[in-house]
Amino acid sequence: GENVEQHPSTLSVQEGDSAVIKCTYSDSASNYFPWYKQELGKRPQLIIDIRSNVGEKKDQRIAVTLNKTAKHFSLHITETQPEDSAVYFCAAISSGSARQLTFGSGTQLTVLP
Amino acid sequence: DGGITQSPKYLFRKEGQNVTLSCEQNLNHDAMYWYRQDPGQGLRLIYYSQIVNDFQKGDIAEGYSVSREKKESFPLTVTSAQKNPTAFYLCASSIDGGTDYGYTFGSGTRLTVV
Structure confidence by residue, pLDDT tens digits, B37-56:
998 788 999 999 999 999 99
The whole-angstrom separation of Cα A85 and Cα B44 is 23
Report CB contact under 8 Å: A99, B41: no
CB under 8 Å to B27, separation ≥6 — which residues? B3, B4, B93, B95, B104
Question: DSSP assignment, residue A28?
Answer: T
* B100, pLDDT greater than 70: no
pLDDT of residue B95: 84
Please report, in tens digits, the pLDDT of each residue of chain A (113 residues total). 788 999 999 999 999 999 999 999 998 888 889 999 999 888 999 999 998 888 999 999 999 999 999 999 999 999 999 999 999 999 998 766 567 888 999 999 999 99
Burial (Cβ within 10 Å: 0-12, 13-18, ≥19) of residue B69: exposed
The whole-angstrom separation of Cα A48 and Cα A30 is 17
Inform me whether the C-beta atom of residue A40 falls under 8 Å from chain B C-beta atoms. Answer: no
Q: How many CB atoms are closer than 10 A to CB A97?
A: 7
Report CB contact under 8 Å: A105, B106: no
> With the CA atoms of B64, B68, B71 and B77 taken in that order, what torsion angle do they form, in degrees rounded to the nearest 10?
-30
Inform me whether the C-beta atom of residue B9 falls under 8 Å from chain A C-beta atoms. Answer: no
* B98, pLDDT greater than 70: no
pLDDT of residue A96: 64
Instruction: Single out the residue of A12, A18, A20 nearest to residue A108, CA to CA.
Output: A12
Whole-number Cα distances in Å, A111 to A66, B18, B65 = 25, 41, 40
Task: Name the percent of chain B in helix, strand, coil, to the closest 5.
Answer: 0, 50, 50
The whole-angstrom separation of Cα A92 and Cα B91 is 18
